Amino acid sequence: MVVNSEPQVFLFLSQILGDNVLDDNGRSLGKIIDVVASLTEPYPVITHILLQGAQKKPSSLSWQKVTEVGGKYVTNPYYLEDFREPLLQEGELLLKDTLLDKQIVDTDGAKVRRVNDLQFLKARGNLHLVHVDVGFRGLMRRVGLERTMDAFSRGFFDYTPHDQFISWKFVQPLSSPDLLRLKISQNRLAQLHPADLADIIEELDIHKRTAVFQALDIETAAETLEETDPKIQVSLIEDMKVSEASDIIEEMSLSEAADLLGDLPKDKADDILMEMEKDIAEDVKELLAHPEEKAGGLMTTSFLCFTPLVLAGEAMERIRKEAEDMDFIYYLYVVDEYEHLLGMLSLRELLVASPDTPLSGLMDTRVVSVSLDEEKEEIAEHFAKYGIMAIPVVDETSVLKGVIIFKNLLEVIAPHLGK
C-alpha cells in the first residue's frame, strides 16, 4: 500500500503579499501585490501572481514558475515571455482585490462577514484557497501583531484566541456582479432559506443588494422577496426591467404580489401587470381593488374549493395537480354552483377518508368567515378565538371571495414578527 506522506502546508495571503520574488542571482524581480485564482471546484487554485517591480505597470507570472527556498520565493530559470500583462481569463479573479476587506456571505451561518485574510493549502505542487478568515486574529496577522495579541490575551485574560475560518465551500463573494452571476456562486445563495437571504439582502448597501437579488433564479427571488421589508421590495423591483419583474412577481403568492404592486408607483405597477399572464394579473387586480388592511386586501384568491358531490379521491387527485400553485392547501372549502360557501374540511380529514366519500359527508358546516370590509383587529380576534390557520372571506351574499392566511394578517398587525 502506498501512503501519501506529503505534508500539509498552510499559507495565508497576508504572508505572501509584499514578498519579493528573486531570480537565481538573488535580485528582486518585484513584490507580490496580488494573486490570481481560477474558480475551480471545490477549492480555487492559484494560477498566477502579480508583481510590482521597478516598472510602473504590474506583470503576471505563473505560480508554477515560483519555488520557495529558505522562506524566499525564487523563479529559476525564467524568461521575459514568462511575464505577461495581467489580463484575467474567464473564471479567474484577483483575490486581494476581490476579497480582502470586502463583504462576503457566509452561506453556512447565513451572515454577511468581512474578509480579514485568506488561507491556502499546498497540495501536489498547487496552492488551493480553502478558508476565508473573518476573525480579529486574521486582522492582527496582517499587521504583524498576531503573536503579540495571543501572548497578551493568555497573560492578562487567561484566554487563547482562536481563528474564525469559513470554508470556501460556504463563501459567496459580493464585490463583483459578474461573480454573482457565475453558476458556481449562484447555487450557494439558492441554498439559503429565503428568510435568511432576505435578512442578508436587507443588510447590504443598495448596489450589492441589487446585484445579489438579480443573481437569484426566479423562484428563489420570489420566495426571498416575500420575506423582505416592503420598502426594499419596492427598490429592488424598481431597478428591474418590467419583463424580469413580472416573471418574479408571477411566482409570488397572490396576496404578496398585490401588496407589492400596490406599493409601487402606478405607472410601474401597470406596466408589470400588462406583462404578467392574464389570469394571474386579473386575480391580482381583484385584490388591489380592496383596502390593504381590511379583509379584502389581506386575502388571497389562490386556494382550493370543491362542490359537495366531489369524491374524496377526486379531490386528492386535483390537489396533487394544483397544490404547487396554491397559496394555501391545508383547508378545503365546499361551495355550491354559485360559489356560496357551504362548509370546509382539513387536508388531514381528507387524507383519512375513504376515496369514494363525497365531500358533503366530510365537511363541517360551522364555518367561521368574515366580510370583505372586516377590520384587521376583528380578524385577529377570530384567529385567536377559534385557533384556526385561515379564515374565508365572503361577500354580502355569502359568495366565497378569498381566504386570509394567518401569516398575511401577522405581517400587518406585527410587521417586525411577520417579516
CATH number at residue 272: 1.25.60.10
Q: Is the pLDDT of residue 370 over 90?
A: yes
Cell for 108? 453556512
Residues 310 and 410 in one domain: yes
Residues 342 and 390 in one domain: yes
Q: Is the pLDDT of residue 413 over 70?
A: no
- How many independent structural domains does the chain possess? 4
Residues 26 and 78 in one domain: yes
Residues 66 and 116 in one domain: no
pTM of the model: 0.69
Residues 90 and 109 in one domain: no
Residues 107 and 70 in one domain: no
Residues 143 and 163 in one domain: yes
Last residue of a domain, one of 96, 118, 146: 96
Residues 343 and 362 in one domain: yes
Report yes or no on 4 lying in a domain.
no
- DSSP line for 275-334: HS-HHHHHHHHHHHTS-TTBHHHH-BS---EE-TT-BHHHHHHHHHHHGGG-S--SEEEE
Which residues face 11 on adjacent strands? 120
Q: In CATH, what number is assigned to the domain containing residue 71? A: 2.30.30.240
Per the omega criterion (within 30 degrees of 0), is the bond before 7 cis? no
Only one residue has cell 359527508, namely 361
Residues 90 and 104 in one domain: no
* 8 Å CB contact between 127 and 63: yes
Q: How confident is the model at residue 349 (pLDDT cuts 50, 70, 90)?
A: very high
- CA 96 vs. chain centroid, Å, equals 25
Report yes or no on 212 lying in a domain.
yes
Report yes or no on 294 lying in a domain.
no
Report yes or no on 295 lying in a domain.
no
22-34 pLDDT per residue, tens: 887 788 888 999 9
Question: What average pLDDT score do residues 331-354 get?
Answer: 94
Segments forming the whole domain that contains residue 16: 9-96
Residues 145 and 167 in one domain: yes
Report yes or no on 236 lying in a domain.
yes
Dist. CA 363–CA 355, nearest whole Å: 14
Last residue of a domain, one of 61, 96, 131: 96
Report yes or no on 369 lying in a domain.
yes
Portion of the chain with pLDDT greater than 70, in percent: 89
How much is the pLDDT for 68? 79
95-133 pLDDT per residue, tens: 999 899 998 888 888 888 899 999 999 887 789 999 999
Report yes or no on 181 lying in a domain.
no
Report yes or no on 177 lying in a domain.
no
Q: In CATH, what number is assigned to the domain containing residue 336? A: 3.10.580.10
Dist. CA 244–CA 159, nearest whole Å: 53
Residues 80 and 109 in one domain: no
Residues 46 and 122 in one domain: no
